[in-house]
């Protein structure tokens, strides 16, 4: 399989994206820790998680229509510039000492809207940078970059929080967005068919067309169901790591950084495997992997030992990443380009919206039932749901009916 790293434009994009992603993970760890220190409440940690990912759930399909209608380069630059300004404002208020949980949730929600709108743009942009035969390598490489940042970013965040304070973590994230803005500005991107040559469609009609396309495509439809299960009960469970690190394991911010890095290390390992070739990948492999992840979530919830929990979240990084990266590779390899933005937005809506709802529900239930008991239950529900999904045959990659 040709490597996307041989493509100059992709290398530039990857460097800029990697720098920005480090800032993202510095922010996410700082945000979760700040929410926990301000309130000491699992429910509020879940609410903050919800604000980060809920916009993708509510507005995801609309973001996809926008990604298909307008020039993706300009959209990427605009949205990343907005993210930089939002983080700069949060850092300034934090330095001034006027941030409470309401202010924090507001800025988290704004950032969630920016990230949610950028997700389909980002996912649709990469196929325009590389050749079709480089696409699997490009998706795996961007995932490796994402998860390398998940390993290194939390460690940097922990150092910044301990030595300088959480305000500096927000400021560093603000600066990190400059790298991706510059990268997207300078690279060459393949031109798409001009939308203006076609009759301009109503946005609602385009949205319905994208949904019909997904519902009529057996493989993509099944992948989105599995993605929903993995994010609701898998990624949603991982959103409780700040509470687990402090209330269960008594390791504080350093324990949270170590666990977050362990998740990233496992995901990097899986990304490297997929970057070498994904010819073996199909829906059945993703289904089996998600079932294994469900069992690991049960073990994570039942564990009260730091090292065992560290191993568990590392294995979750491997398994949940195979489900996430694998579903992206399969979808991007089979989707038609004229609906790529809308299908990508539906994937993002489910992936990030599922994490938002899962984190919120698990946090709320944990407040009443108990954190460890709730995590065990989340894993069991994920296992039952995954086993109930029927995986299509490996060759079943076509539309059930014309759309």
Taking alpha carbons only, the member of 347, 373, 231 closest to residue 293 is 231
Q: Is 165 left (phi over 0), alpha (psi -120 to 50) or beta?
A: left
pLDDT in tens, 102-112: 999 999 999 98
> What is the pLDDT confidence band of residue 381, given thresholds at 50, 70 and 90?
very high
Predicted pLDDT of residue 200? 46
Predicted pLDDT of residue 299? 92
Query: Whole-prediction pTM value?
Result: 0.67
pLDDT in tens, 331-364: 877 777 667 777 877 777 787 777 778 887 888 8
With beta carbons less than 8 A apart as the criterion, state whether 86 and 110 touch.
yes
What is the spatial distance between Cα 120 and Cα 182, in angstroms, rounded to a whole number? 19
Place of tokens 């994009």: 13
* Lowest mean pLDDT across 35-39, 260-264, 338-342: 338-342
Alpha-carbon dihedral 349, 76, 322, 176, rounded to 10 degrees: -120
Tell me the average pLDDT across 112-126: 81
pLDDT in tens, 45-64: 778 877 877 776 677 667 77
> What is the pLDDT confidence band of residue 396, given thresholds at 50, 70 and 90?
low
What is the spatial distance between Cα 150 and Cα 11, in angstroms, rounded to a whole number? 20
What is the spatial distance between Cα 89 and Cα 226, in angstroms, rounded to a whole number? 37
Q: Which residues contact 97 (CB under 8 A, 6 or more apart)?
A: none
pLDDT in tens, 288-316: 999 999 999 999 888 888 999 899 999 99
Beta bridge partners of 217: 399
Asked whether residue 194 carries a pLDDT value surpassing 90, the answer given is no
From the CB of residue 54, how many other CB atoms can be counted at a distance below 10 Å?
23
Token pair, residue 96, equals 């001034």
Token pair, residue 110, equals 């704004």
Token pair, residue 312, equals 């568990």
| Mean pLDDT taken over the chain | 82
Q: Which residues contact 35 (CB under 8 A, 6 or more apart)?
A: 44, 45, 47, 48, 101, 104, 242
């Amino acid at each position: 399989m040709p490597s996307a790293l041989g493509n100059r434009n992709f290398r530039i994009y990857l460097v800029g994206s990697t720098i920005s992603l480090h800032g993202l993970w510095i922010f996410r760890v700082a945000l979760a820790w700040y929410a926990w220190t301000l309130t000491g409440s699992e429910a509020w940690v879940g609410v903050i998680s919800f604000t980060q990912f809920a916009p993708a759930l509510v507005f995801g399909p609309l973001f996809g229509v926008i990604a298909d209608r307008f020039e993706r380069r300009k959209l990427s630059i605009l949205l990343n510039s907005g993210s930089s300004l939002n983080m700069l404002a949060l850092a300034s208020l934090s330095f001034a000492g006027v941030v409470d949980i309401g202010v924090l949730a507001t800025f988290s929600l704004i950032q969630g809207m920016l990230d949610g709108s950028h997700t389909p743009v980002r996912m649709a942009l990469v196929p325009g940078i590389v050749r079709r035969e480089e696409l699997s390598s490009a998706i795996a490489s961007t995932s490796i970059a994402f998860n390398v940042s998940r390993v290194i970013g939390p460690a940097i965040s922990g150092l910044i929080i301990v030595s300088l304070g959480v305000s500096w973590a927000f400021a560093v994230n603000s600066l990190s967005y400059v790298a991706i803005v510059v990268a997207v500005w300078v690279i060459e991107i393949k031109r798409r068919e001009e939308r203006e040559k076609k009759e301009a469609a109503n946005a609602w009609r385009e949205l319905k067309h994208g949904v019909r396309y997904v519902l009529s495509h057996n493989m993509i439809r099944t992948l989105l169901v599995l993605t929903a299960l993995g994010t609701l009960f898998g990624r949603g469970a991982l959103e409780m790591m700040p509470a687990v690190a402090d209330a269960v394991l008594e390791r504080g911010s350093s324990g949270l950084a170590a666990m977050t890095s362990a998740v990233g290390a496992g995901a990097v390992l899986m990304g490297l495997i997929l970057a070498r070739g994904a010819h073996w990948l199909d829906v059945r492999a993703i289904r089996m992997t998600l079932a294994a992840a469900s069992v690991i979530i049960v073990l994570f919830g039942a564990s009260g030992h730091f090292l065992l929990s560290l191993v568990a979240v590392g294995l979750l990084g491997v398994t949940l990443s195979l489900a996430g990266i694998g579903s992206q590779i399969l979808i991007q390899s089979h989707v038609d380009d004229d609906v790529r933005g809308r299908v990508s937005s539906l994937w993002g809506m489910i992936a990030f919206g599922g994490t938002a709802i899962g984190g919120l529900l698990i946090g709320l239930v944990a407040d009443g039932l108990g954190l460890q008991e709730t995590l065990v239950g989340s894993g069991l529900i994920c296992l039952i749901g995954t086993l109930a999904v029927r995986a299509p045959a490996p060759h079943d990659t076509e539309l059930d009916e014309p759309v």
